[in-house]
Amino acid sequence: MSTTETSSGVSPVEGAAVYTVDNPAPVIQPPRQRTKKTPKSTRGNFEMYGWLFMRLSGVVLVVLVIGHLLIQLVLDGGVSKIGFAFVAGRWASPWWQVWDLLMLWLAMLHGCNGLRTVINDYAERAGTRLWLKALLYTATVWTILLGTLVIFTFDPNIR
């Protein structure tokens, strides 16, 4: 960088150019300069879709989960009637299979996204956040896979 007389920066005569081709102004780094680490696009809409999903899945879950609780805990003797035979009777109907499948996927994804927000809020160290989220995503994926497998491979004559 040039060291000649640019440090004053104030023109002695109003309106006259301080900097010339031979005496250029010092380069000032613009804020939020793109670096090698800057992603190509920083304008994804992921968070907006996540926000929308929480609301849409929430409305559907009201029906699915409260309906489920009514069936399991209130109607027809409450919890007392639950057992292998009861589950076999319910999963004989594709209606309840689809109900449970939808409830499983929506509730797990809704809860997973909710917990992601909670982790982002409270885990301050980048490393802690990374590990907690890795744990959350693994648990979510395995639970969804296991639950789906159980619904599709259920065998009433297992014994």
Partner 1 sequence: MPAGTLYRGREGMWSWVAHRVTGVLIFFFLFVHVLDTALVRVSPEAYDTVVATYKTPIVACLEYGLVAAILFHALNGLRVIAVDFWAKGARYQKPMLWTVVVVWVVLMLGAIYPVLGHAARVVFGS
Residues that bind ligand HEM (CB under 6 A): 54-55, 58, 61-62, 65, 68-69, 72-73, 79, 82, 87, 90, 96, 100, 103-104, 107, 110-111, 114-115, 117-118, 147, 150-151
CA pair distance 80, 72, nearest whole angstrom: 9
Q: Which is nearest to 146 in space by CA: 82, 86, 84, 100? A: 100
Tokens of 32: 């939020």
**CB-wise, 14 or 121, nearer to partner 1?**
121
CA distances from 43 to 34, 38, 56 (A): 14, 12, 23
Judged by DSSP in three states, 154 sits in coil
Neighbours of 87 (CB within 10 A): 15
Complex with ligand HEM: residue 19 or 84, whichever CB lies closer: 84
At what angle are helices 126-153 and 94-122 packed, to 10 degrees? 170
Map residues 55-84 to x or -, x wherever contact with partner 1 holds by CB under 8 A: x--xx-xx--xx--x---xx--xxxx-xxx
**Least distance (Å) between residue 54 CB and partner 1:** 8
Q: Does 108 bind partner 1 (CB under 8 A)?
A: yes
Count of C-beta atoms within a 10 Å radius of residue 97: 15
Query: In the structure encoding, which two tokens stand for residue 34, read together?
Result: 């793109």
Between 73 and 75, CB nearer to ligand HEM: 73
CB of 43 to partner 1, least distance (A): 22
Which residues contact partner 1 by CB under 8 A?
A: 55, 58-59, 61-62, 65-66, 69, 73-74, 77-80, 82-85, 87, 104, 107-108, 111-112, 114-115, 118, 121-122, 124, 139, 143, 146-147, 149-150, 153-155, 158-159
